[in-house]
Structure 1
Amino acid sequence: MPGALDKLTAGGFSVGVELPLDNDWSPAGEAARRASGRLPGEPDMARHGELARLADRLGFRALWVRDVPLYDPQFGDAAQVFETFSYLGYLAGVTGRILLGTAAVVLPLREPLLTLKSAATVNRLSNGRLLLGVASGDRPVEYPVFGRDFARRGETFREHVALLRDAGASRLPEGVRMLPRPEQPLPLLVAGLAQQAPAWAGEHMDGWLAYPGTPEDHARRSAMWRGAAGAKPYISFIHLDLLADPDAPIRRHRFGAAVGRNGLIEELRAMRAAGAAHIALHFRRSQRPVGEAMEEIAAHVLPHFHVEAVAAQAPACIAETVTHEMRVVA
């Protein structure tokens, strides 16, 4: 049975979305934030369930959530607000097939056996849809609050990865087991390098969650990753402002771009050519309503990248019909 990582990369390349599904970094979103009294960097989560279901229905391959335990005004970013594993449990219940990824759980801040139990629980409740992205963390203020050593976070990260790999056996007394037991090993994806050497990450991790960048950035990084990890997938993100004009040329901004849908198709093709196996779209800069942008991408962009995976997984007669219909939509 294909695992979550196999499903993510089916067809050779896929497109997902990163939560929160809000556009609070746009001028209109910032005005709405101020009017509502939310903190800078605190998204509006009122429609989060509706938009997660929409992403599932439209055929995006994965939903990605981040792990930000504490709001630090110096960073000014609360991510999706909710605690990561609790939120994934909710998302597992309101969606049916979309993969659920963490980008990424900060291992050194957490008790590792509880991390294992939380991840195994979400994986079981979602019928094997979890992609466990993990990190060493980059917010120094959090470590003393949780009684953790920031300087030692790289070593702690390696210890926690080892425990996740052996399902806790190295820590548990004889005869004691952690339940639920994963039916397959949980896929572990490293965000950045987590204070590790590339060779260590390539050997011990199942994929790389790379920071956003240009296709040229990704070509350099993915070449390094392939040298360390072989064919293990390289994954990244785009902070996207999808412009209403389909032919609007690309204007790059930090971590992404403002572009029309035809330019987005070309950018994703360039990302694929640069070695990316999956790109998730982040909409907080979107000047248009997030649902509207997602629907346009599903109708006009996803068929260029997901049709091969749909056709490969369907019976021949159905696959031919699906392929034809998707090309008509495109």
Structure 2
Amino acid sequence: MTFDKLQNLGFSIGVELPLDNDWSQEGQSKGVKAGRPFGVPDLSLHKERIQLADRLGFSTAWVRDVPLYDPDFGDAAQVFEAFTYLGYLAGVTNKILLGTAAIVLPLRQPWLVKKSANTTAELSHNRLILGVASGDRPSEYPLFGVNYASRGQLFRDAVEVLKDHSNSKLMLGQKIYPEVPKFPIYVAGLAQQSPEWIGGNLDGWLAYPGTPEDHTNRVALWRKVAGSKPYVSFIHLDLVSDVNAPIERQRFGVKTGVNGLIKELESMKAAGVDHIGLHFRKNDRPIEDSMTDIANNVLPIFHQ
């Protein structure tokens, strides 16, 4: 049986790393002064902020897998290599679940992905959610010697390795250590597969950000092919100090106050979403203030 702590939480709220507001006006100004390209966050307080998120009760921390910084995409994510960073985060946090959103399987050797995931699960005391993807940045593939058009088949081949808990392809006597319980494997998007294949072979879906109405339609498809498996998405949040500020829709998220955020999350829950990761890079207020506001006024409503 798959070991999935997130599924047991009911509706929950997490954070997407980096915990920085480098996409806000002030954050961009600071980045220019520091000589950082757009999309490269300030990581000077990354340890303190993830520990704060852990103490405040956010359920999950999500990290991206971005092998190469590409100015055409303008996003270095949290900069650090995903598995290395998760191992570090496992050592400086206690309860928060640790998820990847998502490991680009066609650019990685699947047996080493399995070893890395097992290691992360062991070091974190089974807090890992392994999100995987086929990748969407064509410029990365030539450097890795991988044919972009083959990424769908490479993704299926890697999932087969990850899900083969008997490791049947190993030679007699060979083992992969550490051996850990079956951590859940979620998929970002459809990874060049059919919805039916995804629903039958993966344990959860990492859906792209959207409105509650967008998610209503996507959740209906997910329930049809995957039953009650977790449906996860993200909100790019700019939380303003006025608690009654109305919801202003922005690309991938909202600008609003605490009461508007509660309303948005209630709508997400009603649409059938199981988990929302909050992304703070557009947030104008200090990250610590916004996370504390959410912990005091929002998490108690939704975290049972």
Q: Using structure 1 for the length normalisation, give the TM-score.
A: 0.90
SS in 2 for 1:145: helix
Distance in 1 (CA, whole Å) between partners of 2:16 and 2:169 is 34
In the alignment, which of 137, 140, 148 is matched to residue 139 of structure 1?
Answer: 137
Compared CA separation, residues 153 and 295, structure 1 to 2 (3 A): same
**1:267 counterpart residue number:** 264
Partner of residue 218, structure 2 = 221
Percent identical across equivalent pairs?
61
1:285 alignment partner, SS class = coil
Deviations 1:283-316 (A, max 9, x none): 000000111100000000000001x2xxxxxxxx
**Equivalent residue for 2:192, pick from 189, 195, 200:** 195
Cα pair 2:7 2:229 within 8 Å, conserved: no
- Corresponding residue for residue 108 of structure 2: 110
In 1, the alpha carbon distance for the partners of 2:68 and 2:2 equals 36
**Mapping of residues 174-189 of structure 1, within 5 Å:** 174-182=172-180, 184-189=181-186
Structure 2 residue aligned with 1:13: 11
CA distance in 1, matches of 2:194, 2:205: 13
Q: Distance in 1 between matches of 2:290 and 2:88?
A: 24
Q: Which residue of 1 aligns with 2:237?
A: 240
What is the distance in 1 between the residues matched to 2:81 and 2:150? 24
Q: Name the amino acid aligned to 1:125.
A: L
Write the letter of the residue equivalent to 1:20.
Answer: P
Which digits, 9 at most, give the CA deviation of each residue in 1:55-84, with x for residues without a partner?
Answer: 000000000000000001100100000000
- Contact 1:113–1:168 (CA<8 Å) still a contact in 2? no
Cα distance in 2 for residues equivalent to 1:79 and 1:67: 8
Counterpart in 2 of 1:57?
Answer: 55
Equivalent position of 2:290 in the other structure: 293
Give the deviation of 1:175 after TM superposition.
1.4
Residue 247 of structure 2 contacts residue 256 of structure 2 at CA under 8 Å; is this kept in 1? yes
1:172 shift after superposition: 1.7
RMSD between aligned alpha carbons? Answer: 1.2
Shift in Å, 1:2: 9.1
Task: Tell me the SS of whatever aligns to 1:80.
Answer: coil
CA positional deviation for 1:11: 4.4
Structure 2: segments with no counterpart, 5+ residues: none
Give the gaps of 5 or more residues in structure 1. 309-330
Counterpart of 1:134, as a letter, is V
Q: Which amino acid aligns with 2:279?
A: H
Deviation at 1:170, TM superposition (A): 3.9
Residue by residue over 1:23-51, the C-alpha shift from the partner in whole angstroms, topping out at 9 and shown as x without a partner, is: 00000000000000011110000000000
Counterpart-to-counterpart distance in 1, 2:47 and 2:159: 31
164, 167, 170: which is aligned to 1:169?
Answer: 167
How far apart are residue 174 of structure 1 and its match?
1.7
| 1:283 alignment counterpart | 280
Secondary structure at 1:89's aligned position in 2?
Answer: helix
Q: Give the 3 Å change call, closer, same or farther, for CA 2–153 of structure 1 in structure 2.
A: closer
Q: CA deviation at 1:8?
A: 1.6
Q: Distance in 2 between matches of 1:241 and 1:279?
A: 15
Equivalent residue of 2:228, what SS?
Answer: coil
Using the alignment, how far apart are the partners of 1:9 and 1:107 within structure 2?
A: 23
Displacement of 1:181: 1.0
User: What's the counterpart of residue 83 of structure 2?
Assistant: 85
